[in-house]
Chains A and B, each alone.
Chain A
Amino acid sequence: MDNAYLPKIAKIVDVQQELTDVRTFSLRFASDQDQDDFHYKPGQFIELSMLGLGEAPISISSSPSRKSSFDITVKAIGSVTQALHAQKPGSLVGVRGPYGNGFPVDEVAGMDILFVGGGIGLAPLRSLLVNLLDNRSSYGRITLLYGARTPSELLFKQDLAAWAMTEGMEVHTTVDVADESWTGNVGVVTTLFAKISPDPKQTIAFVCGPPVMFRFVIAELLKLGFSDDRIISTLERYMKCGIGKCGHCCIGHKYVCVDGPVFNYREIKTLQEEI
């Protein structure tokens, strides 16, 4: 029997500053065998250990087609993530995973994809988006609606620019509050829906952002005629163990770490608890 609570050692191979308090860490397992054995789906997460402080559940933000390392994009917000931010390339951390059900990548082949992201919510969506671009011909039109509070809080700015130039991809961004240099849309992310006309019979929507954003985005998608199971989101809870035992991440009768974190709206409606 494996010990599912025992982390494997991984080395930080690269650190990228994304925003003032957000960094992307590229990790590679210390053992080559562990790295070769690490297969994940977009939408899955790891439990990152800072020994002495504890573990934090963090979504993987890279595409699984990259084999040499994987990325986590992390906001410094609690004791574990703040300690992580103090690390440099070469530091060792503990990793357990991958956990969670991941996005249904295979099931959306041939369809148009609509991504709607808010703030740091773009991080898990990125893993899926880049994975789709790795197999571009298998999917239809790809559209990204992305919003942040201010221009300085837009994540992955270089990626956003590159995606906007990609054939068959449409990118719309917005901020709640502009600064002097911002010339783009101002307003919450739902204001971007006016710029697109997706075919609800042909499109799957992937949504990730703060809880308040979900409600309004789901309302827009339902207005456009999306059915409940074509609206997919990834939810956030205090996932302590990652394997469905500690009880902290339950929403209704589901364990977010095992049954999720990816759920479609039909499932979310049956949960009998506020998300």
Chain B
Amino acid sequence: MAERARTIPKGRIGEFIKLLAREGTLIAPVARSGETVFSTVNGPEEISFDYLNSLLPPKRFLLPQTEPMLTYDANGRCEMTPVYDEEKRVIFGLRSCDVGAIAFLDHFFLGDIPDIYYAKRRENTTIISITCQEPGENCFCICADCGPFIETGFDIQLTDIGETYLAEIGTERGAELVGKAGDLFAEASDGEIERRNELAAAAEKRFKSTTTYFSAAIRRISTEIVPEELWQELGDRCLACGGCSYVCPTCSCFNVADLGSGGTGVRMRCWDSCALGGFTRMAGGHNPRKEKQDRRNRRFYHKLSYYYIQRQDKHGCVGCGRCITVCPGEIDMPAVVKMIVKGENAKVKA
């Protein structure tokens, strides 16, 4: 790593951000109504550097809430024209959890039969992340093995080491940008790299949870020794609101619908959630996951079972903690993992 890392004085980060804004639409954390959201910005003055993480993950710039797939004209020869989004984007200020989630979505959407809509957005998106040094109340990236500092997935990873940011270059694209920035960046000294490593270790120690819960939960879910009563309780507490799926940076399920009239229109896709009642309902009425407990079982099985992990290369949770913020039934990932492993917060002992 020593030969690739650079440093940039904190006072000059604004100049680098202005360069990024010329590379594409710049998206960065912005303070809005007491929350932090990822939004398009025109310059460094609009960016909030004083934040933990955003309410919604930046996945919506790669997988939008709704997007057109093709326009159709069913009159005459029946024409269908694909609609692609090839806008260049630079997302600045992501946290390690969200970077890991994007790598997870890359593996899913680009593997086997690739998704061309995701692929075109992804190849035009640059990722510049900033490491976390102070975990939030709901953060558990360290349990999910996805932070607070990570090794890959970013084009550039910035760490605040005092007077400067240390910039780790993850890809050729990252190297290209550092090259364009000329004398903004200097080579990092051994001492500066050492400082970055010390801060990484210190950040890990600030978490209050440990890693053992996840592997135990993975084992129990994969070998089906979680009692049915626990899923029933989760089903009772779940409101089927879908909030967990919408804020989860690794969730990717979608539905497709044709919208139009008079034979012309657009085929759209939009976010969907396995929490919702009709997710598995088929024409004719048969619904294999009619019960909420079956749908809750499905969510945690998909995120944690080792059969899926083999398929996906890693488990489906990055520890961002957003599900804790939104779930009205308090059955977010850490709560359920603890219920499964230790029987905490549950009326039923696991």
B-contacting residues of A (Cβ < 8 Å)? 1-7, 9, 30, 51-56, 77-78, 80-81, 92-94, 211, 236-238, 240-241, 243-248, 250-253, 258, 272-275
Contact = CB atoms under 8 A, between A and B. Distances in A.
A272 B308 CA distance: 12
B74 interface: yes
Interface residues of B, number: 50
Nearest to A78: B283
Given A52-B260, A246-B254, A6 B70 contact: yes
Nearest to A53: B258
Interface string B42-65: 000000000000000000000000
Contacts of B279: 238, 248
Contacts of A240: 255-256
A256 to B, nearest CB: 11
Nearest to A270: B307
Contact of B258 (A54, A236, A251): A54
A7 B72 CA distance: 11
Nearest to A249: B280
A253 B77 CA distance: 40
Interface string B72-99: 1110011010100000000000000000
Nearest to B273: A247
B103 interface: no
B224 interface: yes
B78 A94 contact: yes
B213 interface: no
A261 to B, nearest CB: 13
B69 interface: yes
B252 A51 contact: no
Q: Summarize A's interface: helix, strand, loop or mixed.
A: loop
Contact of A78 (B74, B115, B255, B284): B284
B258 A52 contact: yes
A116 B36 CA distance: 59
A1 B256 CA distance: 21
B302 interface: yes
B274 A247 contact: yes
Given A4-B116, A7-B80, A52 B72 contact: yes
A7 B256 CA distance: 14
B265 interface: yes
B307 A252 contact: yes
B176 to A, nearest CB: 23
A211 B286 contact: yes
Contact of A246 (B74, B253, B286): B253
A238 B70 CA distance: 21
Contacts of A92: 74, 77-78
A258 B288 CA distance: 19
Contacts of A236: 282
A53 B307 CA distance: 35
A94 B311 CA distance: 31
Which 4 pairs, one residue from A and one from B, show the smallest C-beta to C-beta distance? A78-B283, A247-B253, A253-B307, A51-B74
B112 interface: yes
A51 B72 contact: yes
Given A51-B80, A51-B258, A92-B78, A272 B301 contact: yes
B74 A52 contact: yes
Contacts of A211: 286
B257 interface: yes
Interface in B262-286: 263, 265, 267, 269, 272, 274, 279-284, 286
Given A5-B70, A244-B113, A54 B77 contact: no
A241 to B, nearest CB: 7
28 contacts: A1-B116, A5-B69, A5-B70, A5-B115, A5-B116, A5-B256, A5-B267, A7-B80, A51-B73, A51-B265, A52-B260, A92-B74, A92-B77, A92-B78, A94-B78, A236-B282, A237-B288, A238-B281, A240-B256, A245-B113, A247-B253, A247-B272, A248-B253, A248-B255, A250-B302, A253-B301, A253-B305, A253-B311
Interface string B213-229: 00000000000100000
A267 B24 CA distance: 48
B224 A272 contact: yes
Contacts of B258: 51-54
Contacts of A248: 253, 255, 272, 279-280
B14 interface: no
A26 B179 CA distance: 60
Contacts of B109: 245
A246 B282 contact: no
Nearest to B287: A238
B78 A51 contact: yes
Contact of B113 (A4, A7, A9, A274): A4
Contacts of A252: 301, 307
B329 interface: no
Nearest to A9: B78
Contacts of B302: 250, 253
Contact of B112 (A55, A80, A258): A258
Interface in B104-161: 108-109, 112-117, 119
B326 to A, nearest CB: 20
Contact of B283 (A56, A244, A272): A56
Nearest to A11: B78
Given A3-B116, A77-B284, A211-B286, A52 B263 contact: yes
Contacts of A274: 288
Interface in B203-241: 224
